[in-house]
Amino acid sequence: MSQPDLMSWRMEKDPVLRSTIVAVALLDRSPDQERFVRMMERGTRAVPSFRRKLVESPFGRTPPRWVDDPDFDLSWHLRRIALPHPGGLDAVLPLVRAAAMSAFDKDRPLWEATIVDGLTDGRAAIVLKVHHSLTDGIGGIQIANEMVDFERDGTDRGPLPEDPPTSAPASALADSVGWYLSTAGEMVGRGVPWLVRSGLRSVTNPVAALRSVVDTARSTARFVQPVFTTLSPVMIGRSTVREVAALDLPLDALRQAGRAADSSLNDAFLAGILLGLKHYHSRHGAQVAELRATLPISLRRESDAIGGNRITLARFALPLDVADPVASMHRVDRIVRSWRDEPAVPLSSAIAGVLNVLPAGVLGGILEHIDFLASNVPGSPIPLYMAGAEVLRYYPFAPTVGSAVNITLMSHTSHCCIGINADSAAVPDLPVLVESLVEGFGDVLAVGGEGTRIEVSLSATTTAQT
């Protein structure tokens, strides 16, 4: 386990911080069972971590070890059910909610895939549940590309890969020593270039070198600074109960809104969230200047292995007192860009290592006072197929990890698929939040001259509260 992987694992000592990723692939037809099993078999051979389980280490702060599961049974991880009555994504979301709220069997590999038949017009869905310690969002897309087809009739990938070789069982002590060495190597690999640059600068410009060291120390302090209260006076409760919803809007419309404001798609996405949260707080009679957000910053390099976590979590305040969507996009761009350029970003593994030394309760205290988490994951620009069925939409429902709500966008062909995972203690009226977000994204899309209809899906339990 890397330090970021370990942080995703350790934080679950507090169940509010459960790190379960759930994704829904909405399909145009029911997938062929035999082809589906073969697809998943290929995937687990191509990405052997999906055949491994975690074993706790007896040595202090050393993380659990990934070991081959001698009892790996693919059929246990694959399920198939049918809805009692035809429905759309609304009918699938209660299954997403249950998956997000339930823990894994930690004696088995940490993933499950469920085909859901019986949707309206002969459609189907696949609900995929994965523990965050296995992968981040971009890693998940890489894993999916090892399994899916690019044509309905299938993609010739040759014969199934051989069974991944069973790793030799190392002793816990040897494995622990190896982890410390590899962790040190990773830190050196990412930190040495910074040290070299600092060393050279100290010779040619000692004043600038000292300033760089001070700036990096301050930046590191900002990354690990404790947070003791929410900025939102409304979204303050925390619990283990979740409610989920989904939004669907055209990718080109959101991209055009960003371009019209001389901004990016990500700026438009975050501005839509901020305007939506502004509307939500106004509906609750609260005027808030800013909210504290967590944004994952990808550190993934081409040389990195598929899967795993190659991100750092930046926590910072974003403005809620900006009503103009163009001004909001510009403010977002400046703030996010400054955090991506923080001197401490290359040292993120070391920072995660510091956080991993802290008691889980302290880590929870830091994360449970974040107002919201947002993430933008680039998906596939071309059609994908699963066992003969075309993927129409692909919705991500990422964990709240202590925040009031996680709002994650994944692009798929021409669509922005937005998954909303909310802590019901913080957001007891999810339909009101969804309505507010629709209004906020509507404000942003209008910048691009688009009067686009935004599709909304709510789970049955959420709808019952309206």
* Exposed e or buried b per residue across 46-85, where buried means at least 16 C-beta atoms within 10 angstroms of its C-beta: bbbbbbbbbeebeeeebbbbbebbeebeeeebbeeeebee
Phi first, then psi: give them for residue 116, nearest 5 degrees. -115, 110
The pair of three-digit structure tokens given for residue 306, joined into one six-digit string:
């598929």
Calculated CA dihedral for residues 300, 305, 306, 307, nearest 10 degrees: -70
Number of alpha carbons in the 13 Å side-chain half-sphere of residue 448: 24
Quote the tokens at residue 340.
Answer: 């991506």
Please tell me the distance from the alpha carbon of residue 322 to that of residue 288, in angstroms, as a whole number.
Answer: 10
Phi first, then psi: what are they for 311, rounded to 5°?
-135, 160
The verdict on whether 412 is a catalytic residue reads: no
Q: Are strands 385-386 and 372-377 parallel, antiparallel or unpaired?
A: unpaired
Token pair 């020593």 in the structure block, residue: 177
Question: Is the distance from CB of 307 to CB of 47 less than 8 angstroms?
Answer: yes
Coil, helix or strand for 237?
coil
Nearest-angstrom CA–CA distance, 356 and 62: 10
Backbone phi, psi, residue 299, to 5°: -115, 10
Active-site annotation holder among 131, 132, 369, 415: 132
DSSP-based three-state secondary structure for 373: strand
SS3 content of the chain, % helix, strand, coil (to 5): 45, 20, 35
Q: Minimal CA–CA distance to 271: which of 367, 342, 374?
A: 374
Quote the strand ranges of 372-454, DSSP E: 372-377, 385-386, 389-397, 405-412, 415-423
Residue type for 165, please?
Answer: P
Catalytic residue annotation: 132
